[in-house]
Amino acid sequence: MTDEWEPLPKRRKQKSYRQYPVIAENAPQPPEQQQQQQEPQQPNHLEEEASAETPQLTRRAAPDKSQMQRVTAAVEERAAQHRPDRGEGMGNDGVAGEFYEYLDHTADVQLHAWGKNLKEAFEHIVPCMLNYMTDLSKVEVDPRLTQTFEVEGHDLSSLLFAWLDEVLFRFSSEAFVCKSVTILTFERPAAVMIGSAKDTPVGIAKVEGGERQGKYKIKVRAEGETFSLAKHPQGTEVKAITYSAMQIHEMEHRTDLYVIIDI
């Protein structure tokens, strides 16, 4: 007997394989499988309705250029009849021959008025606002009610705001509706650079943000009559003037004003 230990030999594990039944080609199938093959496939009505509701996209025919040209010519002819020519650089996009129009804005209305210069644009912005409140064609001029007043501002934007706000105040408090307005004088300060060492004298403006800062003043004559519901149709009430998106574009031969009013 020896004292040395000897390991036992390893056992080999025999692999077991799953046995699958062999089905002959002509062997009979189970009854459940035969029933599934014999049952006809039921039509899917939901899919048929969805396909019926889905419109079939067809290629759209190209528009007739000659027809488009005739339509464009007819529109321009009607526009020329109702909106007379305003001269060079003035455009022809007003309302009933006026120098203004109304632009859509979320919950409010944007006024757009223009003129050959700043003075004319300021004159046209007033009937633009009042014509939205009533029909100015029904308003006549009563010489006894002609008013003359002044409006001031520290820049063009504040002057434009004060100008419309004054007209709106007179309409609300005195029921005075302007048929037309005429700016008698338009005072604006001259420009001087901010870096000037001298003190800015009276009537001279500093340039800040591309706009002159100083004293702006206009003297106005307003002609019209007292508003009456028996004579004048009631339009949309203007609650207030806003500074929101106010724009003043002063160019050499044209000036455009954009003002949003709260209705």
> Which residues, 6+ apart, have CB-to-CB distance to 156 below 8 Å?
118, 188, 211, 212, 216, 248
pLDDT in tens, 8-54: 666 666 656 566 555 555 656 666 555 555 555 665 655 555 555 55
- Phi and psi based region of residue 137 (left: phi greater than 0; alpha: psi -120 to 50; beta: remaining): alpha
Q: Please state, in angstroms and rounded to a whole number, the distance separating the CA atoms of residues 53 and 201.
A: 77
Domain boundaries, the chain: 99-262
How much is the pTM? Answer: 0.59
- For 99-262, the fitting CATH number among 3.55.10.10, 3.40.462.10, 3.40.640.10, 3.40.50.970 is 3.55.10.10
pLDDT in tens, 66-101: 666 665 565 455 545 444 444 444 444 454 456 888
